Structure 1
Amino acid sequence: MYGPIGSHKQFVSHEQKTAATKIPKVNKMLNVENKSVIIIGCGVGGTALAARLASRGFTVDVYEKNEHSGGRLSLLHANGHRFDQGPSLYLMPRLFEETFDDLDENLSDHIELMQCERNYSVYFGDGDRCELSCNFAKMYNEIKRYEGESEKTLVNFMNFMKETHVHYERSIEIALKNNYEHWYNEFQLKHVPNAFRLHLWSTVYGSVKKFFNTEKMRQAFSFQTMYIGMSPYDTPALFNLLQYTEIAEGVFYPRGGFHKVIEALEKIATKKFGAKFHYNSNIKKIIVDEDNVAKGVQFDDGRKEYADIVVCNADLVYAYNNLLPETKYGRKLGKHAALTSSSISFYWGLSKQVLELDVHNVFLAKDYKASFDNVFQQQILSDDPFFYVNVPSRIDATAAPEGKDTVVLLLPVSHISANNHDCIDKWVKRARHRCIQILENRLGIKDFESLIETEIINDPRSWESKFNLWKGAILGMSHSIPQVLHYRPSIRCEQFKNLYFVGASAHPGTGVPIVLCGAKLAEQQILKDYGFIERGHDDIIIISQYLLFGLTMTALFLAIYYFFFF
């Protein structure tokens, strides 16, 4: 039913291979002259970057406020149950492999991946259920139940896969493999066709609507935006790459929990390359001198540590407003940045297995659009919510005691705002009652609450306090068009020298595989800035293209003017 898988090398295209060879391999240590790096936070971005920089010969120290690694990717344990505190869907596998390849390691030597037989069980608002799968025959048969037996159903599905494939491949090439230091890096003539191929002016739901006629299939192929903390009615269409990777590559789970990714990267960073990780080390501020150069960090106890380079893996908006000197840019982010959703997450240890639940389950609302609008527009708790349920013990028996189940229920809610900060306790109580009621009704089981023998809860306030997430937004800044590529906060801080960012709110964005790409881009940026690899002549070429285009347009205008008026 479920089992381990091998390498994903077959997914790596020529474009990715070419992009992956832009910097030297790690076995070619650079002469970094004992340059030191302090990394604040050991989430997946900070940990991956620690391994990368240590592999180059930098002296790397990572400081983490909590007693454990991983940030949102950490684990919770209670009464024999193991809970993934945050991410539970292992997607875009080749990006994980690339990180380990760059460190001269095989991912399969560190992590045992198990592929889910079904991607999801999706429960619609009327109680109907469908299964999403990476098995093409099963997926097509499921679609036919709703869309009909005609040839058009198959053609539409294939066209959907074709468009989302383009979104997936082009997004990796353009957004995840390239840094955007300057505005002109983004606005290049070669990118003009991509603006149309990526359907930047459409939404995920609007795009899906072109290929599916029934409302249920439109919902089944658009709810995935909840994993980047956005509504399908607002998310740019290119993000239906999420549906593509689930169908084309599958959904996986690391045996022992998602935290195994962090554990493997930390082990490589420390045992192989000599990086040092320090826990229970809460940083009060980043030390900046009178020339606006980051020099080190100061801890709660007053102790100071200095380094040549400072990298912040803490929440970016939080850092600008709490760790750094006040700036106009920081105030702007704190007040006006568009944020992703937060969540009320219930971690339940059940006294017995509930076999009606699959590994991944999605419960959608009767009024699909209103349920998203309540979260992202009105910022209220809906009486008819949508939510996601993960049962890791269904695929990994080590997640729960024998004969029992470990369940994580994630209910998206608004981040903390003036509309809701006084009513979160009421939200938690209402959400728990309503979600249990929906589970009982749609699964056809009675007294689900009596099965709960262990319970831990995270809400927007605990996300904020545990991990310094600004306003409790669990995925940082959103991916609206004004907050991607050049418009997203850059990896290299523009306000303070020698300071870099890696993580969900920095370029290229949120999500574990995306942040892993961000760590690689941060490595490249640091190596370029300190002259360890050549910067190349890209900027000169781009500016020359602009000048040539301007001269051509000027000559054309003059020619037309002369033709008509002389």
Structure 2
Amino acid sequence: MKKDIKIIGSGFSALSAACYLAKKGHRVTVYEKNDSIGGRARQLKRDGFTFDMGPSWYWMPDVFERFFGDFDKKTSDYYQLIKLSPAYRVYYGINDFIAIADNLPEIITTFEAIEKGSGKILQEFMNEAKSNYDIAIKDLVYRPGVSPLELITLETAKKVNQFFSNISRDIRKKFKNIRLIQILEFPVLFLGAKPSDTPSFYSFMNFADFGLGTWHPKTGMYDVVLAMEKLAKELGVTFHVNANIEKIFVENKKAVALVVNGETLKADVILSGADYHHTETLLDQEHRAYSEKYWESRVFAPSSLLFYVGFDKKIENISHHALFFDVDFNQHAIDIYDKPKWPNEPLFYANFPSITDETAAPKGMETGFFLIPLAPGIEDSEELREAYFEKIIDRFEKLTQQKVKNNIIFKQSFCKNDFVSEYNSYKGNAYGMANTLLQTAFLRPKLKSKKVENLYFTGQLTVPGPGVPPALISGKLVAELIEKNI
């Protein structure tokens, strides 16, 4: 039976679910509180500069192909991909960096040059990482997190020890050079937890990095949002922006309507791709499946301080993606996870999309995006933001040996308070709930409400977890669950 399905939010998981549900013939309407779709993957345009406001790394291209393939389409039907070479640089000192090539053989050569014998060890590590990737991304993550039995297969039984060790311990057993260790620990930060709290099995992220490479949609990550919107509209999905959801009505323990900008709209099924905690606050207390105590006890991925910066000249000695690891990696992690505070010496990430995409900035100019990971729930003020921009831009100038401060046309910041106001994000987190051992698969918040019929959830606080590819998968999983239950 075809249903009237209303979706809250228009991030990647909501767009994915909308496409799958519309394909089944349901009447699907998407409501977005902001003035453009995409959720955290919105776009900022200013003075001829274009910024992706959120996700900027395109990893796991096979997951995107699988999504569009489910609709007999290809990514190339909607957008063009460019493989970045180098994939990224990691800076340790003044013009002292390691460039990560766009292919594994060259990366192995780089490792061997830094630590004798590490090339062969890396190849063995990557063979295991690929095996884990094949098990996880081609199978396990496409399970709905309903039962612990989903994790028990012949393949995972052989790797059970990897669920009780951690990435950091494994890497440090194999490699001695701290730079190589940090490069190998970096990919799991996308999962929202410290490497020492991330199960070894998640080494599949290293295969996503070194094995599959880093890509860039021709004019930015928003290309993917527009592609999914176009596909959704081709399938009959209707979109409404500036549509704030004020309440979810429940009758006889069934979700029956949304209040959107003061108007009550009936629905057969309600699906939220918005923040899970926030969505439950739209319900009366007795209908909420998770208490405030529950949310307080969870390990959340970091928040971020972001800067969108327009430069009036081209930036030198830099790559499209750059990581700045010239300060204490472990101390910054402690400042995020163990003793939450603003870090004295923050690691940071910089992204210059105009190196790859000439439309991202006016001719002869550069688009810059800077990110500092921070503890969620932290104090946020304009004074702190400004102080930290000065910290990182001073280091950026020193490490890349150039002056850029006087070439800034404008800068716009985005931090914890904005994540709360723009996305209703719990504690202003940027990436959802961390994928620690006790927050994996069936141990994450459920796709289907435990208290209210016809109410479902999707996105980075439920399965499979943080990241753009997992968001696409989450939309597929919840659509299948809805289809099964109606």
Normalising by structure 2, we get a TM-score of: 0.96
The aligned residue for residue 170 of structure 2 is 207
Q: Name the structure 2 match of 1:223.
A: 186
Using a 3 Å threshold, how does the CA distance of structure 1 residues 233 and 181 change in structure 2: closer, same or farther? Answer: closer
> Residue 519 of structure 1 is aligned with which of 466, 475, 484?
475
Aligned CA distance change for structure 1 residues 108 and 178 (closer, same or farther; 3 Å) = same
Cα-to-partner distance string for 1:329-364 (whole Å, 9 max, x where unaligned): 232333222111000000001010102121000001
* 1:76-475 mapped onto 2 (5 Å cutoff): 76-124=44-92, 128-148=96-116, 152-186=117-151, 191-196=156-161, 199-270=162-233, 272-289=234-251, 291-301=252-262, 303-323=263-283, 325-326=285-286, 327=288, 329-416=290-377, 420-421=378-379, 424-446=381-403, 448-475=404-431
Matches of 1:192 and 1:526, distance apart in 2:
30
Residue type at the aligned position of 1:522: V
Query: Offset at 1:293?
Result: 0.9
Q: Structure 1's 154 and 38: CA in aligned 2 closer, same or farther, altered over 3 A?
A: same
355-364 vs 426-435, which moves further: 426-435
Compare 213-222 and 326-335 and name the one that shifted more: 326-335
Q: What CA distance in whole angstroms lies between the structure 1 residues aligned with 2:158 and 2:257?
A: 44
d(CA) in 1 for partners of 2:122 and 2:151?
32
Question: Which amino acid in 1 is paired with 2:386?
Answer: K
SS at match of 1:366: coil
Could you list the runs of 5+ residues in structure 1 that have no partner in the other structure? 1-31, 531-566
How much does 1:202 deviate?
Answer: 2.1
2:250 partner letter: V
Helix, strand or coil at the partner of 2:143: coil
Give the partner amino acid of 1:469.
Answer: S
- Give, in angstroms, the shift of residue 312 of structure 1: 0.5
Note the C-alpha offset of 1:144.
2.1
Greater shift in the superposed pair: 426-435 or 449-458: 426-435
Query: Aligned partner of 1:428: which letter?
Result: R
Deviation at 1:365, TM superposition (A): 3.8
1:484 aligns with 2:447: no
Superimposed CA distance per residue, residues 508-563 of structure 1 (whole angstroms, 9 cap, x where no aligned partner):
11111111111111121112112xxxxxxxxxxxxxxxxxxxxxxxxxxxxxxxxx
Amino acid at match of 1:500: Y
Question: 1:89–1:236: structure 2 CA closer, same or farther, 3 Å change rule?
Answer: same
| 3-state secondary structure, aligned to 2:79 | coil
Distance (whole Å) between structure 1 residues aligned to residue 361 and residue 167 of structure 2: 36
| In 1, Cα distance between equivalents of 2:33 and 2:292 | 24
Question: 1: distance between equivalents of 2:69 and 2:289?
Answer: 40
Change over 3 Å in CA distance of 1:226–1:324 after alignment to 2:
farther
Contact 1:159 1:211 in 2 (8 A): no
- How far did residue 385 of structure 1 move? 1.1
2:191–2:465 CA contact under 8 A, matched in 1? no
- Describe the shift of the 1:467–1:282 C-alpha distance in structure 2 as closer, same or farther (beyond 3 A): same
Aligned-residue Cα RMSD (Å) equals: 1.8
Of stretches 83-92 and 186-195 in structure 1, the one that deviates more from structure 2 is 186-195
Q: Distance in 1 between matches of 2:190 and 2:303?
A: 11
User: Secondary structure in 1 aligned to 2:188?
Assistant: helix
8 Å contact kept, 1:81–1:401: yes
Corresponding residue for residue 5 of structure 1: none
> Helix, strand or coil: the match of 2:270?
strand
Q: Which has the larger radius of gyration?
A: 1
Q: Which amino acid aligns with 2:419?
A: W
Whether contact under 8 Å (2:272, 2:457) holds in the other structure is yes
Q: Name the CA distance, whole Å, in 2 between partners of 1:260 and 1:93.
A: 14
**2:274 partner amino acid:** A
- Name the structure 1 match of 2:26: 58
Moved over 6 A (4+): none
Aligned-partner SS, 2:418: helix
For 1:351 and 1:455, the matched residues in 2 are separated by 12
Query: How far does residue 477 in structure 1 lie from its aligned partner after superposition?
Result: 1.1
Contact 1:60 1:275 in 2 (8 A): yes
Change (3 A) 1:37 1:329: same
Q: Structure 2 CA distance, aligned partners of 1:190 and 1:175?
A: 10
Aligned residue for 2:285, secondary structure, equals coil
Once the two structures are TM-superposed, the CA of residue 59 in structure 1 deviates from its matched residue by 0.5
CA distance in 1, matches of 2:381, 2:326: 21
> Contact 2:83–2:216 (CA<8 Å) still a contact in 1?
yes
One-letter code aligned to 1:122: V
Amino acid across the alignment from 2:272: C
Residue pair 1:79, 1:454 contacting (<8 A) in 2 also: no
Per-residue deviation, 1:126: 7.2
Determine if contact 1:343/1:459 at 8 Å carries over to the other structure: yes
Runs of at least 5 residues in structure 2 that lack an aligned partner in the other structure: none
Distance 1:236 1:283, change over 3 A: same
Instruction: Work out the CA distance in 2 between the residues paired with 1:184 and 1:167.
Output: 18
Contact 2:32 2:241 in 1 (8 A): yes
Whole-Å separation in 2 of the counterparts to 1:324 and 1:334: 17
After superposition, the Cα gap between the structure-2 partners of 1:524 and 1:206, relative to the gap in structure 1 and judged at 3 Å, is: same
